[in-house]
Structure 1
Amino acid sequence: MKRPETLAQMNAALGRFATDHGVETGLAYRPGPTDIFISPYSKCGTTWVSQIAHGLRSGGDMAFDEITDVVPWLELAHDMGRNVNDPQAYSPKLFKSHLPWGVIPEGGRYIVVLRDPVDAMVSLYRFFDGWVFERGAISLEDFAEYYLDRMGREDYWSHASSWWGVRGRQDVLLMAYEHMKQDLAKSVAQIADFMKVSDARTRDVAQAQATLDFMKAHGQQFDDHLVRQARDAACGLPPDGEASKVAGGQAGAGRAQIGDVMREAYADKWRATMGATHGLESYEDVLARLKG
């Protein structure tokens, strides 16, 4: 069994990652008013925020095999043998998701992180390389072109636009990945305030357990091995893939890894979507507005 070696083969494999019934089961969930959905786009800080939020609600309990044990993935839980209606060990209930506003079940509370789309794309490429496709079989430039219109209406820009449009709601906390990198303490405090966790020691523990060093030291708890065990066979992927979730994630580093033509294509895409809809001419405008 070999991993995909072309974008078409990769898309076919990813098309089997979640079943229609499994996704529908997740979408049918009816949240309680304290439930929190952590729903950035792929590779925009979902695992990081999940760790912070779980630390805040649990006081730093690390007794889990993998983070999706304690923060179930809404769209994939059924396909992983989980029931999203089951009680969770701590309150509030937490769910991971990558869904946009307008699709994700309403009635709960939502934490979303935006990230420079080029950095998010490069991170996803590195994540897929050696897991979803044969290592080195697909070039970064080809993947970058594919990502521009990835998943149709559920591409990066549609997701970002949907959440930007509701950023003023009291039940939505919209953050920037780059700000989390710059000031983790401030970001943990924002999430703690949103979760109404005031205890200083709990905040300190959650912050300590969300550092890059700590999460790298506990890398197996964040590497999606349970996800791969549950879904690799369905996707036709060999069982020995690697999919590390904890990386350095240097802000802005992705742009140096693609050519001028592709960089301009990403700038054009941004202007045609976030610019036209929200008046945000570049991702730097997002950073300025969220830092506000």
Structure 2
Amino acid sequence: MRSTSRSCFPKEWLLLLKRQSAIPGFEQRPSRQFRATMLDNMCKLVDGFLVNDFLHDDNVRSALNYRAKAGDLFVISYPKCGTTWTQYISFCILNKGQPPEDYTDFMLRSPFMELLGAESVHRMSGPGAIKTHFPFNRQPYHPQSKYIYVTRNPYDCCVSYFHHVRDSPVYNYADATFDMFLDVFVQGKVSCGDYFDHLLSWYEHRNDPNVLLITYEGLKEDTAASVLQIADFIGNEHGDELRRDPALYAKITDMVSASSMRKAFSEGIKSIIPSLLALPPEKALKSVEVYRKVLSKKRMASAKSEFIRKGVVGDWRNYFKPEHIEKMKAFIALKTQGSDVMNLWADAGLP
């Protein structure tokens, strides 16, 4: 991590590491080269919240301190669990099937607050959802705001996160192996911390009237039904409109398919910061200027990352060897004692 590594790890982690040492095949300390890159350079703490090193402290801090207000709509998840997909579904519903001009337009109208800071929310140019990766206890909250939390089974999340870390320019670690990544994943030494700490913080609020908890698997299994569920949650008028207008309902369902989203998000993460930096003064965000100095054109150009990689359920089977499954099952058992959260995937065919 960027600051002294000992000060960055909370005492709670040290206690967890002692318990995790009993996990079969668990490696508390990955290879020295991997630790130096992944653990010392990949993440940092900003006001106690673990984020990837690319994000600017001021933007993360302003996001943490944003005061939610009545009418705000947030889409939240642990990384690589379907945030962008759910965010785009919400956008298409709110904008009655009219797509954004391009990905930059989408980001201005439906911003990722940790990346762009609270300024991006104050200057939102149209109806859209605010994206965050905050656990419930760090999420800006207002009883009259609405919160859509999307989660994904830990196996597929881990695989998708692995590809994101390996291919994304904000991490830039092309030599990572799945063995190495799984070790830091179960330790919670990745951006946004521990998968289950994050999920359980929201799962406890799944029945709150202003919280909708959905799964990536549910979105994939019946996208049309999920679109209607999200529309009803955003506001009954949106769900009623889709029921009255089957053509609009079908259009939005098609717009949010994996193939359509790949086309809509073809710029991906490679060009979003340069595009935002190139905006005319009347649209430019001051909060983006902090990335001008740290942006490496070579680093961004060499990236392979895509927001929509495969868009499938069950890709974990292509990566998890028996020893990986054993490690993940032990991690799940450790973190979910006394909770029925894994019932979310009772029919998903998990080990």
Q: TM-score scaled to structure 1, two decimals?
A: 0.85
Deviation readout 1:99-132 (Å, 9 max, x if unpaired): 1111101112111111111111111111222333
Partner of 1:141: 179
Distance in 1, matches of 2:328 and 2:292, equals 31
Shift of residue 253, structure 1, vs aligned partner: 2.2
In 2: Cα distance, 1:161 partner to 1:46 partner: 17
Deviation at 1:147, TM superposition (A): 0.9
**Residue 29 of structure 1: CA displacement?**
1.4
State the match for 2:11 in structure 1. Answer: none
Q: Structure 2: how far apart are the matches of 1:63 and 1:251?
A: 27
Structure 1 residue 97 and structure 2 residue 132: aligned?
yes
Say if 1:59 and 1:205, in contact at 8 Å, map to a contact too: no
Superposed CA offset, 1:15-39 (max 9, x none): 4322332112112211222211100
Instruction: Give the deviation of 1:148 after TM superposition.
Output: 0.8
Q: Is the 8 A contact 2:153 2:345 kept in 1?
A: no
Kept in 2: contact 1:44–1:114 (CA 8 A): yes
The offset of 1:164, in angstroms, is 0.7
- What SS does the aligned partner of 1:239 have? helix
Q: Name the structure 1 match of 2:196.
A: 157
Question: Cα RMSD (Å) of the superposition?
Answer: 2.6
Contact 1:45 1:113 in 2 (8 A): yes
What's the CA shift for 1:288? 4.5
> Which residue matches 2:99?
62
Deviations along 1:80-110, whole A, 9 cap, x unmatched?
xx432224312xx520111111110111211
Flag the 1:124–1:235 CA change in 2: closer, same or farther, 3 A: farther
User: Structure 1 residues 185 and 224 mapped into 2: Cα distance closer, same or farther (>3 Å)?
Assistant: farther
Tell me the equivalent position of 1:251: 313
Structure 1: gaps spanning 5 or more residues: none
The CA distance in 2 between the partners of 1:255 and 1:142, in whole Å, is: 17
Q: Does the 8 Å contact 1:10/1:133 carry over to 2?
A: no
| CA distance in structure 1 between the aligned counterparts of 2:208 and 2:125, rounded to whole angstroms | 26
1:114 maps to which of 151, 160, 176: 151
Worse-matched range after superposition: 240-249 or 149-158: 149-158
Cα distance change, pair 235–61 in 1 and its aligned pair in 2 (3 A): same
Following the alignment from structure 2 to structure 1, what is the Cα–Cα distance between the partners of residues 56 and 269? 22
1:278 corresponding residue in structure 2: 339
Deviation per CA, 1:24-56: give whole Å up to 9, x if none. Answer: 211221122221110011110011001100000
After superposing the two structures, state which structure 1 stretch, 220-229 or 101-110, moved more.
220-229
Q: Determine helix, strand or coil for the equivalent of 1:6.
A: helix
Q: For the structure 1 residues 83 and 69, does the alpha-carbon distance in structure 2 shift closer, same or farther, using more than 3 Å as the test?
A: closer
Amino acid at match of 1:210: V
Query: Using the alignment, how far apart are the partners of 1:7 and 1:95 within structure 2?
Result: 33
| CA distance in structure 1 between the partners assigned to 2:108 and 2:124 by the alignment | 12
Contact 2:74 2:131 in 1 (8 A): yes
Whether 1:25 aligns to 2:67 is no
Q: Secondary structure at the match of 2:138?
A: coil
SS of equivalent residue, structure 1 residue 110: strand
Contact 1:48-1:210 at 8 Å conserved across structures: yes
Pair 1:234 & 2:294 matched: yes
In structure 2, stretches of 5+ residues that fail to align are: 1-32, 45-52, 276-287
How many angstroms apart in 2 are the aligned matches of 1:234 and 1:14?
A: 15
**Identity within the alignment, %:** 23
Tell me, yes or no, if the aligned pair for 1:116 and 1:252 is still in contact at 8 Å.
no
Deviation at 1:261, TM superposition (A): 1.8
Q: Which has the higher contact order (CA 8 A, sep 6+)?
A: 1
Distance 1:48 1:286, change over 3 A: same
**Structure 2 vs 1, CA of residues 248 and 83 (structure 1 numbering), >3 Å: closer, same or farther?**
closer
Distance 1:68-1:278 versus aligned 2 partners, 3 A rule: same
